Amino acid sequence: MTRTSRRWTEWTIERALQACAAGSVLITVGIIGVLVFETVAFFREVPITDFLFGTVWTPQFSDAQFGVLPLVTGTLLVSAIAMAVALPAGLLSAIYLSEYAPARVRRVVKPVLEVLAGVPTVVYGYFALLFVTPLLQTVFPTLSSFNALSPGLVMGIMILPLVSSLSEDALHAVPTGLREGAYALGSTRMQTALRVVVPAAFSGISASFILAMSRAIGETMIVAIAAGQQPRLTGNPMSPVETMTAYIVQISMGDTPTGSIGYRTIFAVGMLLFVMTFTLNLASDWLRRRFREEYA
Amino acid sequence: MSTRASRLAGDRLLQTMSILVLALSLVALAALLYDIWSDGWYRLDWQFITSLPSRRAASAGIYPALVGSLYVLLVTAVLAVPLGIGAAVYLEEYGGGGRFARLIEINIANLAGVPSIIYGLLGLSLFVRAFQMGPSVLAGGSTLALLALPVVILSTREALRTVPMSAREGSYALGATQWQTIWHQVLPSALPGILTGLILAMSRAIGETAPLITIGALAYLDFAPSGLMSPFTVLPIQIYNWVSLPQPAFAENAAAGIIVLLVLLLTLNAVAVVLRDRFQKARQ
């Protein structure tokens, strides 16, 4: 090969690889473009204040109302239950794995957590509807067969590995010198873990919490299967609710003509979902970077 | 100042609680697997795998969904693998921390956090409507390729980073160009890591349900897809469809479908482990 043709090949390959990388930006542009386009069309027909502050969501009734709040509260209710399980359990297992566990235990536990994280969400949905709900009904006879509680608990189990592994990374990154200092002052392992290591890893741990919240809000199949499809403004975990994601699934399973207002609702709801998760992801990323700087 | 005994009691308490939490998550996993196995095992036979879905639960099967899943996975892999590896090689080997590379990095990190159902909305609007693919295998595979791309890029970069700098420097010293170095040195020694990441990305794609429902994949299909433009359904959608029916007999079908899905995932992951081991041995 001559020198110039070689240089030409190199240049072409580099440009082609650069195009692959640039393609990922197009995905983001596409997502935002599609959501904005359809959402703007939606808001031409429904005032934005009705959408954001309305308390009744009945887009398929003849007297259609487009208040998204019932879907938002449904989403937050299920996510809050999931967080109540995943955050304490995830943090505890992270503390244990990072500060206490012998290498042998870690070798067993970490793959199991990975398996939990790799189970398809439709499987968790099955488990919530046909195992956890009947189990809970033996304790709470008033629990309806679709409810917020059971998918919330199962979602918590699904998200636990995420919290655990990210928090463990954060705890692991705390310099050993801090631990040794605490031991030298006579602290026990628990005191060292809770008063020195956890506070030192605080921003890393909060980053994992926020990311978990974002994951919970965007989770779809568990709630579509086990939470019901009745948008209602309630804080009662025993009653059926509908989340934003479950609504999108419900409409997609039916025949909604393109360009109709019903078709546009899923994009407006999707836009809101995107804004919520995107904000949380940015916050989590910011915290994680700040944490990295602290110990750089 | 607390006494020595009470201090150690606190220590033990924290340890016991942590072990309890981990044990509970093990129990949850065991309960999940047991529940599904006990509901579905007796529906599993050759007839279940080779039959079409039916209104009668006892004669229904997963054939179209299984074939659909494999078709969609193939399209996803063909699109996401070269693009993802290409992007990762650029960012790791050429990008050099420039502003363009940094922008793409932030972008990929954010894409990895976008809920999968949002990708479904993008696929619906872009592939199904604007490109007029309809709810076809091609549209489904393309949608999942977008979803898998950030995962492929992140894991490939991870693998490229493990290749020592000296391997590249040795190659340059012998007069190789940058691309020759990447093709003959860097990629081969990063291959086990790349493959593991790819299989991970694909096993996530095969379990995805929501984005494919959103693009309009059918829930009931009495034929297997025959080409890129065929309508399709996939295993997770078939499972979802059966779970949402009120008759308990269909729930048993769903459980049997889940067993098939989990076996597929397990096989993929076993292949990943074997590949990684073989490559590691070959290199030593």
Among B102, B209, B218, the strongest candidate for a mutation testing the A interface, having the largest count of A CBs within 10 A, is B209
Nearest CA in chain A to B9: A190
* Between B219 and B134, the higher pLDDT residue: B134
% of chain B exceeding 70 in pLDDT? 96
B32 and B135: one domain? no
How many folded domains does chain B comprise?
2
Structure confidence by residue, pLDDT tens digits, A42-62? 999 899 999 999 889 988 887
Across the interface, do B117 and A218 touch by the CB < 8 Å criterion? yes
Q: What is the pLDDT of residues A132-188, one digit of tens each?
A: 999 999 999 999 999 999 999 999 999 999 999 999 999 988 999 999 999 999 888
Determine contact: A204 vs chain B, CB below 8 A: no
Compare all CA atoms of chain A with the CA of B129 and give the residue at the minimum distance: A258
CB contact under 8 A, B207 and A35: no
Chain A residues touching B121 at Cβ < 8 A: 31, 34-35, 248, 266-267, 270
Fold category of A69-258 in CATH: MetI-like fold (1.10.3720)
Query: Given pLDDT bands bounded at 50, 70 and 90, which one contains residue B96?
Result: low
**A227: closest CA among A140, A133, A158?**
A133
pLDDT on residue A1: 57
Same structural domain, B91 and B230: yes
Indicate the residue of A16, A27, A277 with minimum beta-carbon distance to B146: A27
B144 and B130, same structural domain?
A: yes
**pLDDT at residue A241, as a whole number:** 94
**Residues B37-62: what's their mean pLDDT?**
87
The pLDDT value given to residue B215: 92
In Å, how far is B177's CA from the nearest CA of chain A?
Answer: 8
- Across the interface, of A124, A248, A281, the residue whose CB is closest to B113 is A281
Q: Which among A17, A113, A258 is the nearest to B86, CB-wise?
A: A17
Render pLDDT for B149-182 as a digit per residue (tens, 0 to 9): 999 999 999 899 989 999 999 999 999 999 999 9
Do B33 and B53 share a domain, yes or no?
no
CA A129 to chain centroid, in Å, comes to 20
For the cut 80, the answer to whether the pLDDT of residue B5 exceeds it is: no
CB pairs under 8 A between A and B: 240
Q: Does B34 lie in the same domain as B122?
A: no
Is residue A231 helix, strand or coil? Answer: coil
* Local confidence band at B11 (pLDDT 50, 70, 90 cut-offs): confident
CA B42 to each of CA A276, B51, B251, B252: distance values in angstroms, whole numbers, following the listed order: 44, 16, 13, 9
Q: CB distance B25–A160 less than 8 Å?
A: yes
Q: Chain A: give the shortest CA distance to residue B142, in Å.
A: 12
Q: Which residue from A minimizes the CA distance to B121?
A: A267
User: Among partner residues B11, B84, B216, which is closest to A189 by beta-carbon distance?
Assistant: B11
Distance from CA of A47 to the nearest CA of B (A): 22
Q: Kindly determine whether residue B110 and residue A282, on different chains, have CB atoms separated by under 8 Å.
A: yes
Q: What are the structural domain ranges in chain A?
A: 69-258
Q: Which of B17, B32, B244 to mutate to test the interface with A (most CBs of A within 10 A)?
A: B32
Among residues 102-161 of chain B, which lie with CB inside 8 Å of chain A?
103-104, 107-111, 113-122, 124-126, 129, 146, 149-150, 153
pLDDT band at B67 (very low <50, low <70, confident <90, very high): very high
CATH of the domain at B140: 1.10.3720.10
User: Are residues B202 and B222 located together in one domain of the fold?
Assistant: yes
* Chain B CB within 8 Å of residue A155 CB: no
pLDDT per residue rounded down to tens, chain A (296 residues): 577 888 898 899 999 998 998 888 899 999 999 999 999 999 998 999 999 998 899 888 878 889 999 999 999 999 999 999 999 999 999 999 998 888 888 888 888 888 888 899 999 999 999 999 999 999 999 999 999 999 999 999 999 999 999 999 999 889 999 999 999 998 888 889 999 999 999 999 999 999 999 999 999 999 999 998 889 888 899 999 999 999 999 998 887 777 788 888 999 999 999 999 999 999 998 888 887 777 75
> How far apart (Å, rounded) are the C-alpha atoms in residues A224 and A154?
13
- Range with the lowest mean pLDDT among A229-233, A237-241, B62-66, B279-283? B279-283
pLDDT value of position A244? 96
- Taking the Cβ of residue A117 and every Cβ of chain B, the question of whether any pair is shorter than 8 Å is answered with no
Say yes or no: B134 and B268 in one domain.
yes
Say whether B243 and A225 touch across the interface (CB within 8 A).
yes
Coil, helix or strand at residue A204: helix
Residue B98, chain A, CB below 8 Å: the answer is no
Q: B11 and B57: one domain? A: no
Q: Which domain holds residue B39?
A: 4-43
Cross-chain residue pair B261–A123, CB shorter than 8 Å: yes
ipTM value:
0.92
CA B250 to the chain's CA centroid: 26
